[in-house]
Amino acid sequence: MKHTDWLIDTKARLKTADGKTVRVFEFRHQKSDKVLSDWAKHFRNHYCSDADIDTLIKGTGYSKAEYLTEIKFPDGKVKPGPSIRAGDFGEILVADYLQYVMNYWVPRIRYCDKVIRNESSKGCDIIGFKIFNEKGISSRDTLAVYETKAKFSGNKPKNRLQDAVQDSMKDVTRKPESLNFIKQKLIQKDQSENASRVERFQDPQDRPYKEMPGAVALFSTACYWGAPIFSTTYNERVPAFTLDCPASSA
| pLDDT single digits (tens) 65-101 | 999 999 999 999 999 999 999 999 999 999 999 999 9
Instruction: Give the pLDDT confidence score for residue 240 in this predicted structure.
Output: 35
Determine what percent of the chain is predicted with pLDDT higher than 90: 73
Spans of all domains in the chain: 74-224
φ, ψ (nearest 5 deg) of residue 170: -70, -20
Residue 218 · residue 148 · CB < 8 Å: yes
C-alpha 245/C-alpha 147 separation (Å) is 12
C-alpha 142/C-alpha 149 separation (Å) is 23
What is the band of 246 on the pLDDT scale with cuts at 50, 70, 90?
low
| pLDDT single digits (tens) 187-215 | 999 999 999 999 999 999 999 999 999 99
User: How many angstroms separate the Cα of 138 from the Cα of each of 182, 192, 201, 202, 210?
Assistant: 21, 20, 11, 14, 10
6 pLDDT above the threshold of 50: yes
Q: Which residues have C-beta within 8 Å of that of residue 233, sequence separation ≥ 6? A: 16, 17, 20, 22, 159, 161, 162, 165, 243
| pLDDT single digits (tens) 158-192 | 888 899 999 998 999 999 999 999 999 999 999 99
